[in-house]
């Protein structure tokens, strides 16, 4: 309408401000800065083998982050995914080694463990209407405890070659997991953008009661995202077991926080209703790059904790600035 | 002439793609009430947000002078320090805190660093009593109705003893009685030297309470006049920039064919446990008819519609027939499947989704129609939403604009558009023109006429007496949980409705 009245300096300003207002910019700019810093400090980062390492690490977190993004889009959070990762790996390993099941049934067993966790979580969060933050925290402890009790904290090893091939094998030099992560990312991206379910997820996260009054089955939507998050968490655990030829009771421990930080840095709002999977991909890439960069720069692991804590705080700050701008306060 | 306490000079405020304010100038004198009126999206709320520090000094151009001294605010607290308080158009209460906590949020009485609840409740009680507002200070705000919440935000602002008080459409959710209380309060404030800026679409109120009136159109100041020197007709023309011939263009399309019948409807009281807000009521709706529901706010009209629609189920008793067939409605989706649509009163809480675009908001009630088994039909969605966008004349750069960027009235249009795309047979509308300007109101009534001419039947809850009288074919009045009158045609008069509305009241 009155946009045409803008004079040329304003127009230039609006292009710059438009670039800055792209949600994913929150991760792309730090990513670029990080790469420049690393390039000066330790150019080894850009060695092909190391880059593959970074992408490979990204693929694991992203397989979990993509479905978790959908969950966060509905305005929910899940602190039990890290523990579910360990559970999935252990359940699958148990099938392979103790039950002497085939590979596919064992994988299904691992996924089934994730499904059970997802359904229990749904039941508590949706029916008992308790706050998801606390409930999933409790669930995290329960699952952790369960895994420790059953494995006595020992890793389970000794898998058939065909199984370890999942996490270690490649086609044309590219790891299977990277391809899988890419396909999954594209599928979820298309789902969010072009399908009815995608629309329902955004609507539920934007304003649940409005969505319900418009005839959207918000309970169904929440169930889908909760269950998906748990099942994919279990899948990541299975892939870790395959990659390291060992199912560990602490696989994925503590990752839920960093992954959620990656998602929020990637532009998904804490309150729900806005964000993209592409943003989460950049978030995961940023996380893996920092991780790798710190190791290359011989920074002690104590510092890594500090850096990740800072990232978590910054991501929430970013989110607050974004929601304040969108008039969320009023 | 009285001295100026406030002057805003050449204020310009741009949003991406829209210039909301262009060189706006207003001045406010000590102890006066300045009315501001203008169409939806004219820029009234934006101007007031500039004044109250919601937008920082960097985000707009122009000057603000308080007592002839230039000031610039970086946030709301700066403005509050200068004695400026604002009652926002959209409710902003902390829903899960008590009335008292909300009233004193930001300056809770402390003792040894912890909140002194005893004093808090007694302070709140005193304040509530002084103004004559009857709620328990311990009640959780979520349980109040929208009128009570609005009164609460007004009192919260007054409790801070401001020098300049801004009210953005304070009465759109209030009952007549509450409006009276507010008017009394405003007079008291004026006498004690407080200056008030009063935004409203209700001409009647403006003439009653304001000393001067400023008209804003398309982000520009059109005129400022003493209220006794300017005619209502002139004001309306200045606001809309054209002549509005007929405010209530009512057409009659009512038939005798029954489309909806509700019997034995009982709805639990939202605040009082074990009590019903309406008990064992029933009514019939005919094809092409507008059935008005009158009564005081808090009589349970909104709750009744919500209960029939399936928004509330707990403790609700009802029997519903649609098109002669008995139906079971246990959730909103059931109601929608039976061809019922529901425009709620609380836009922000239950009407729109602020972070989504106009297009996405308009299509959410019709996802079934606008998608295949899995995929959205993007072209069809665009066509349908663009059609409503144009027809309803939503004021926004495009249908990709997010809802939180729209003015209140335009948000209401989008919500209407959402249900028009759904094409319901029966439409429940709770306060159809809440916060809508005079020109657009007439448009809205015209749309209601078109709907009824196509055989759609409407149940309309309204607290706007002229609207209720002019637009209803038939009107029922609810008071004290019962239907106290059923009026038809000529019988629908202000006296009849009012008499029935207060019937049974102590
Ligand atoms: N956060 C925002 N981002 C972009 N545009 C905005 C934003 N807030 C308001 N606008 C635009 O500014 C203009 C003025 O809006 P404003 O809310 O001030 O209108 P109003 O006069 O208060 O209308 P109403 O009577 O409907 O409340 C509108 O065109 C609106 O779309
Ligand atoms: Mg407004």
- Reported as a single tens digit per residue, the pLDDT across A121-175 is 998 888 887 778 888 999 999 999 999 999 988 899 989 999 999 989 888 888 9
For residue B224, give both structure tokens. Answer: 């400022």
Could you give the CA distance from residue A310 to residue A321 in angstroms, rounded to a whole number? 16
For residue B502, give both structure tokens. Answer: 């207060």
Touching A: B residues 5-64, CB under 8 Å: 16-19, 54
Write the CATH number for B17. 3.40.50.300
Residue A1 has what pLDDT? 36
Q: Is residue A198 part of a domain?
A: yes
Q: Which domain holds residue A222?
A: 48-253
pLDDT greater than 90 at residue A73: yes
Distances (CA, A) of B257 to A212, B225, B288, B305, B318: 31, 52, 9, 21, 21
**Which residues have their alpha-adjacent CB atom under 5 A from ion ligand 2?**
B 45, 89, 407-408
* pLDDT confidence band for B307 (50 / 70 / 90): very high
Question: A-B interface: how many C-beta pairs under 8 angstroms?
Answer: 105
- Contact (CB, 8 A) for B352 and A327: no
Q: Which domain holds residue B27?
A: 4-240
Residue of B nearest to A13 (CA): B16
Q: Is the CB of B195 under 6 A from ligand 1?
A: no
Q: Is residue A201 part of a domain?
A: yes
DSSP 8-state secondary structure symbol assigned to residue B10: E
Set of chain A residues whose Cβ sits within 8 Å of the Cβ of B415: none
Task: Please return the burial class of B390, using the count of CB atoms within 10 Å of its CB with bins 0-12, 13-18 and 19+.
Answer: exposed
Residue A20 has what pLDDT? 56
Q: B91 by DSSP, 3-state: which?
A: coil
Set of chain B residues whose Cβ sits within 8 Å of the Cβ of A200: 367
Mutate to test the interface with B, among A203, A206, A210, A216 (most CBs of B within 10 A): A210
Residue A223 has what pLDDT? 95
Q: Is the CB of B15 under 6 A from ligand 1?
A: yes
Min distance A200 CA to chain B CA atoms (Å):
8
Set of chain A residues whose Cβ sits within 8 Å of the Cβ of B364: 199, 203, 210-211, 214, 216
Q: Is the CB of B409 under 6 A from ligand 1?
A: yes
Q: Is residue B303 part of a domain?
A: no
Task: Please return the burial class of A36, using the count of CB atoms within 10 Å of its CB with bins 0-12, 13-18 and 19+.
Answer: exposed
pLDDT greater than 80 at residue B381: yes
pLDDT greater than 90 at residue B478: yes
* Type and span of the H or E element at B273: none
* pLDDT confidence band for A4 (50 / 70 / 90): very low
Residue A329 has what pLDDT? 37
**Tens digit of pLDDT for each residue in B233-288?**
888 888 877 766 677 888 888 899 999 999 999 999 887 778 889 999 999 999 99
Could you give the CA distance from residue B269 to residue B277 in angstroms, rounded to a whole number? 4
Q: Is residue A143 part of a domain?
A: yes
Residue B15 has what pLDDT? 85
* pLDDT confidence band for A24 (50 / 70 / 90): low
Q: Is the CB of B433 under 6 A from ligand 1?
A: no
Higher-confidence position of A262 and B244: A262
Could you give the CA distance from residue A241 to residue A293 in angstroms, rounded to a whole number? 25
Could you give the CA distance from residue B472 to residue B293 in angstroms, rounded to a whole number? 9
Helices marked H in B338-461 — which ranges? Answer: 358-363, 378-391, 408-422, 438-453
pLDDT greater than 60 at residue B304: yes
Mean pLDDT throughout A308-316?
Answer: 79
Higher-confidence position of A6 and B425: B425
Q: B235 by DSSP, 3-state: which?
A: helix
Q: Is residue A138 part of a domain?
A: yes
pLDDT greater than 90 at residue A26: no
> Looking at chain A, which runs of residues are DSSP E strands?
156-157, 170-171, 174-175, 246-247
Q: Is the CB of B170 under 6 A from ligand 1?
A: no
Mutate to test the interface with A, among B42, B46, B329, B332 (most CBs of A within 10 A): B332
CB contact (8 A) between residue A326 and residue B90 = no
* pLDDT confidence band for A21 (50 / 70 / 90): low
* pLDDT confidence band for A231 (50 / 70 / 90): very high
Mean pLDDT throughout A32-41?
Answer: 83
pLDDT greater than 50 at residue B366: yes
Total domains in chain B come to 1
Residue A9 has what pLDDT? 43
Helices marked H in B222-264 — which ranges? Answer: 232-240
Q: Is residue A235 part of a domain?
A: yes
Q: B95 by DSSP, 3-state: which?
A: coil
pLDDT greater than 60 at residue A76: yes
CB contact (8 A) between residue A327 and residue B360 = no
Paired sense of beta strands B290-294 and B84-87, if any:
unpaired
* Type and span of the H or E element at A151: helix A132-151
Q: Is residue B170 part of a domain?
A: yes
Q: Is residue B332 part of a domain?
A: no
B41 Cα nearest atom in ligand 1 = 19
* pLDDT confidence band for B504 (50 / 70 / 90): low
Residue B1 has what pLDDT? 56
Residue of B nearest to A210 (CA): B350
Task: Give the one of B90, B350, B375 whose C-beta lies nearest to A195's C-beta.
Answer: B375
- Contact (CB, 8 A) for B151 and B181: yes
pLDDT greater than 80 at residue B222: yes
- Contact (CB, 8 A) for A45 and A299: no
Mean pLDDT throughout B333-355?
Answer: 93
How many other C-beta atoms lie within 10 A of the C-beta of residue A123?
12
Total domains in chain A come to 1
Q: Is residue A26 part of a domain?
A: no
The protein residue whose alpha carbon is closest to atom 7 in ligand 1 is B405
* pLDDT confidence band for B119 (50 / 70 / 90): confident
Residue A330 has what pLDDT? 34
Higher-confidence position of B499 and B210: B210
DSSP 8-state secondary structure symbol assigned to residue B143: G
Residue A297 has what pLDDT? 80
Q: Is the CB of B268 under 6 A from ligand 1?
A: no
CB contact (8 A) between residue A214 and residue B19 = no
> Looking at A216-289, which runs of residues are DSSP E strands?
246-247
Task: Please return the burial class of A165, using the count of CB atoms within 10 Å of its CB with bins 0-12, 13-18 and 19+.
Answer: middle
B410 Cα nearest atom in ligand 1 = 26
Q: Is the CB of A327 under 6 A from ligand 1?
A: yes
Residue A14 has what pLDDT? 57
Q: At what angle do helices A81-97 and A48-73 cross, to 10 degrees?
A: 110
Higher-confidence position of B57 and A305: B57
Min distance B146 CA to chain A CA atoms (Å):
16
Could you give the CA distance from residue B161 to residue B104 in angstroms, rounded to a whole number? 12
Q: Is residue B95 part of a domain?
A: yes
Residue A7 has what pLDDT? 37
Number of helical (H) and strand (E) elements in chain A, helices listed first: 14, 4
Q: Is the CB of B147 under 6 A from ligand 1?
A: no
């Amino acid at each position: 309408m009155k946009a045409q009245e803008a004079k040329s300096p304003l127009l230039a300003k609006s292009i710059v401000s438009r670039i800055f207002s792209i949600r994913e910019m929150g991760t792309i700019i730090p990513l670029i800065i990080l790469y420049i810093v690393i390039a000066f400090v330790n150019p080894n980062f850009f060695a092909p083998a190391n880059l593959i390492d970074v992408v490979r690490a990204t693929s694991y977190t992203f397989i979990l982050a993509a479905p978790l993004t959908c969950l966060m889009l509905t305005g929910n959070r899940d602190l039990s995914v890290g523990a579910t990762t360990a559970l999935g790996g252990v359940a699958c390993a148990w099938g392979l080694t103790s039950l002497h099941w085939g590979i596919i049934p064992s994988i299904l067993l691992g996924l089934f463990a994730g499904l059970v966790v997802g359904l229990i979580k749904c039941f508590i969060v949706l029916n008992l209407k308790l706050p998801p933050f606390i409930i999933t925290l409790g669930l995290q402890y329960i699952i952790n405890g369960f895994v420790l009790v059953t494995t006595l904290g020992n890793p389970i090893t000794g898998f058939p070659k065909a199984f370890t091939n999942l996490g270690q094998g490649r086609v044309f030099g590219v790891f299977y997991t990277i391809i899988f992560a890419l396909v999954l990312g594209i599928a979820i991206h298309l789902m969010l953008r072009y399908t009815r379910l995608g629309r329902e997820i955004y609507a539920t996260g934007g304003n649940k009661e409005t969505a319900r009054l418009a005839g959207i089955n918000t309970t169904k939507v929440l169930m889908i995202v909760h269950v998906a998050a748990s099942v994919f968490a279990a899948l990541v655990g299975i892939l870790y077991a395959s990659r390291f030829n060992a199912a560990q009771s602490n696989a994925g421990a503590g990752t839920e926080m960093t992954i959620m930080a990656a998602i929020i840095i990637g532009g998904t709002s804490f309150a729900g209703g806005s964000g993209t999977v592409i943003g989460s991909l950049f978030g995961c890439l940023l996380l893996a790059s920092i991780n790798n960069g710190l190791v290359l720069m011989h920074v002690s692991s104590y510092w890594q904790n500090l850096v990740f804590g800072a990232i978590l705080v910054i991501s929430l700050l970013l989110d607050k600035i974004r929601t304040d701008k969108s008039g969320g306060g009023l | 002439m009285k001295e100026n306490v406030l002057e805003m000079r050449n204020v310009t405020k741009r949003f991406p793609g829209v210039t909301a304010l262009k060189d706006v100038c207003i001045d406010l004198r000590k102890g006066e009430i300045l009315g501001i009126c203008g169409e939806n999206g004219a820029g009234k709320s934006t101007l007031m947000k500039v004044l109250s520090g919601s937008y920082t000094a960097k985000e707009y151009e122009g000057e603000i002078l308080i007592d002839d001294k230039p000031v610039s605010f970086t946030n709301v607290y700066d403005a509050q320090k200068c004695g400026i308080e604002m009652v926002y158009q959209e409710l902003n209460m902390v829903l899960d805190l008590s009335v008292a906590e909300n009233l004193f949020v930001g300056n809770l009485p402390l003792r040894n660093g912890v909140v002194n609840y005893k004093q808090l409740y007694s302070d709140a009680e005193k304040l509530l009593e002084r103004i004559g507002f009857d709620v328990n200070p311990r009640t959780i705000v979520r349980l109040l109705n929208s009128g009570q919440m609005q009164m609460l935000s007004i009192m919260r602002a007054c409790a801070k003893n401001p020098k300049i008080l801004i009210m953005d459409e304070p009465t759109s959710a209030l009952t007549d009685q509450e409006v009276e209380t507010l008017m009394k309060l405003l007079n008291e404030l004026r006498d004690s030297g407080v200056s008030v800026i009063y935004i409203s679409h209700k001409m009647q109120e403006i003439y009653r309470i304001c000393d001067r009136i400023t008209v804003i159109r398309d982000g520009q100041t059109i005129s400022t006049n003493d209220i006794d020197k300017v005619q209502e007709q002139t004001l309306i023309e200045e606001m809309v920039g054209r002549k509005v011939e007929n405010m209530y263009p009512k057409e009659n399309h009512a038939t005798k064919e029954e489309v909806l019948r509700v019997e034995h409807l009982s709805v639990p009281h939202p605040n009082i446990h074990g009590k019903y807000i309406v008990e064992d009521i029933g009514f019939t709706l005919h094809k092409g008819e507008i059935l008005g529901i009158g009564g005081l706010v808090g009589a349970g009209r909104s709750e009744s519609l919500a209960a029939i629609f399936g928004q509330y189920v707990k403790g609700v008793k009802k029997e519903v027939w649609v098109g002669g067939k008995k139906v079971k409605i246990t959730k909103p989706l059931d109601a929608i499947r039976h061809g019922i649509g529901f425009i709620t009163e609380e836009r922000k809480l239950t009407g729109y989704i602020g972070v989504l675009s106009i297009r996405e908001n308009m299509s959410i009630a019709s996802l079934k129609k606008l998608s295949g088994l899995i995929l959205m039909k993007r072209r069809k969605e665009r066509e349908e939403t663009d059609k409503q966008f144009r027809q309803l004349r939503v004021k926004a750069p495009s249908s990709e604009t997010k809802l939180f960027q729209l003015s209140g009235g335009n948000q209401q249009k989008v919500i209407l558009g959402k249900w028009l795309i759904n094409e319901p047979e029966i439409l429940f509308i709770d306060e159809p023109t809440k916060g809508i300007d005079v020109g657009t109101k007439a448009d809205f009534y015209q749309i209601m006429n078109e709907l009824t001419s196509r055989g759609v039947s409407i149940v309309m809850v309204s607290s706007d007496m002229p609207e209720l009288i002019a637009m209803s074919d038939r009107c029922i009045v609810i008071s004290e949980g019962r239907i106290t009158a059923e009026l038809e045609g000529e019988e629908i008069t202000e006296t009849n409705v009012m008499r029935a509305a207060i019937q049974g009241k102590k």
